[in-house]
Amino acid sequence: MTINFFDDASWASLRPLTFTRPVADLRIGILTIAEKWAKYFDADFGFNTQDYLSIKYASKSNASLFVNGSICPDHNLLSAISALKTGDVLLSGDIIIAYAVNENLTYEQARQQLKQINYGTDFVKINFPENIFTNNPSEIRKDFELLTKGRTSAKISSTNQLLGDDVFFEEGAKAECSVLNSGYGPIYVGKNAEIWEGSLIRGSFALCENSSIKMGAKIYSGTTIGPNSRAGGEINNSVIWGNSAKGHDGYLGNSVLGEWCNIGADTNNSNLKNNYAEVKLYDYENKNMRNTNLQFCGLIMADHSKSGINTMFNTGTTVGVSANVFGGGLPPSHIPDFSWGGADGFESYKLHKMFDTTEKVLARKNLKFNDLDKNILTKIYELTAAYRNF
């Protein structure tokens, strides 16, 4: 089977996280949304996404199933989608979940031309950035079952203290002298990942392939550290997409970080307002603040962004793509894409300077910053110009 994942209106409402990727490439739980579906269906996949992203995230011409990239799979959905016949579209109210055809159709064509099948069961749909961390504990549980069913964990060193029975290590994973408590949710440690000495970890928790937790870290439930990343300090109910670093002391809570981010030493974010009011996040569509209806909401940081040492982020802060934040005091709750500065003010982060830094960042992992990614970032720079009113 081959699947194409399509973006609906959630691509816009999930910005800035989706400026650099289709919705289905967001990580929630252990896997990205696309990887979850592909694992369940044993399928190859592509993306129907924004034109400027399609040069990197291409569609598959032989796809026979089209799935809404903002929807996370579960057993009921899998059954309903597996039952679709060619020419059927699965709907939940106004939401297109999936459709089975042998050609690319637009969202409206699928609704108007195909036989409608109504789906009446609840499911997880990611519409806003905060939906990622709020649904992360349950998605870790689902992915843990998917990835470990019928398998046996690699050996875990006896120097660790294990509480509960749901700890799974992939081949090459290591941990020493740490407390791993899966009594509150499963703990998954990916291939060649490492938990350094003295770490305290409470599930649900996922440490993905080739990542590490530094000595003395305190990790709370609902946290995912994506592949090729390093994490330390205190982290609670947060998702790091991958290829990012939050390696030092400092608090990260109820937050989402993208790819190629770096959090400076002793950077902290607030996740609760002093008056306990519901938290608002910046909305790119309306260029205004949107009520999340959450009491706990921290930092949303898009790809390629950085913070200097001792940076403080206020409750409900959104940092756009390729921003560099530093200095004393509290910066504003919305930091535009390609910004450079802090509480004392911002200026535009010039594209050629951003490219120079990114080349160095990728070179540290023996990767090359290619023209394809440069073109995508150039387009994002143009798309976000209106938000930089410096």
Give me the CATH number covering residue 169: 2.160.10.10
Mean pLDDT calculated for residue range 289-314: 98
Predicted pLDDT of residue 102: 83
105 plus 206 within the same structural domain: no
For residue 373, the enclosing domain spans: 130-387
Residue 6 pLDDT: 96
pLDDT in tens, 33-60: 999 999 999 999 999 999 999 999 999 9
Q: Locate tokens 């739980």: which residue?
A: 29
Residue finishing a domain among 65, 93, 125:
125
The answer on 191 and 225 residing in a single domain is yes
- The mean pLDDT of the chain is 96
Same domain, 53 and 144: no
Judge if 242 and 273 occupy the same domain.
yes
Pick the last residue of a domain from 125, 142, 162.
125
pLDDT, one tens digit per residue, over 139-178 is 999 999 999 999 999 999 999 999 999 999 999 999 999 9
Is residue 270 within 8 A of residue 103, CB to CB? The reply is no
Q: What is the pLDDT of residue 104?
A: 76
Give residue 103's pLDDT band: very low, low, confident or very high (50, 70, 90).
Answer: confident
Q: What is the pLDDT of residue 222?
A: 98
Q: Are residues 160 and 283 in the same domain?
A: yes
Structural domain count, the chain:
2
Element containing residue 198 per DSSP (H, E): none
Q: Are residues 94 and 221 in the same domain?
A: no
How far apart, in whole angstroms, are the C-alpha atoms of residue 63 and residue 43? 10
Q: Residue 283: which residues within 8 A CB-CB, separation 6 or more?
A: 13, 289, 290
* Region for residue 47 given its phi and psi (left: phi exceeds 0; alpha: psi -120 to 50; beta: otherwise): beta
Q: What is the CA radius of gyration of the chain?
A: 21
Q: What is the per-residue pLDDT for 205?
A: 98
Share of the chain above pLDDT 70, in %: 100
DSSP 8-state symbol, 154: P
Give the residue-averaged pLDDT of 325-341. Answer: 96
- Residue 10's pLDDT is what? 98
Same domain, 11 and 31: yes
Q: Which residues contact 46 (CB under 8 A, 6 or more apart)?
A: 2, 3, 4, 5, 57, 58, 59, 60, 63
* 112 and 170 part of one domain: no
| 109 pLDDT above the threshold of 90 | no
Clarify whether residues 172 and 107 are in a common domain.
no
Do residues 238 and 94 share a domain? Answer: no
Q: Are 258 and 17 in contact (CB under 8 A)?
A: yes
The verdict on 152 and 120 lying in the same domain is no
Residue 105 has pLDDT above 90, yes or no: no
**Quick one: average pLDDT of 9-35?**
98
Mean pLDDT in residue range 213-221 = 98
The CA-based angle 301-352-323, given to 5 degrees, is 15
Do 181 and 104 lie in one domain? The reply is no
CATH code of the domain in which 43 resides: 3.90.550
Per-residue confidence at 208, pLDDT binned at 50, 70, 90?
Answer: very high
Least confident of 8-22, 35-49, 100-114: 100-114
Q: Residue 220: name the closest of 238, 202, 208 by CA.
A: 202
pLDDT at 47: 97
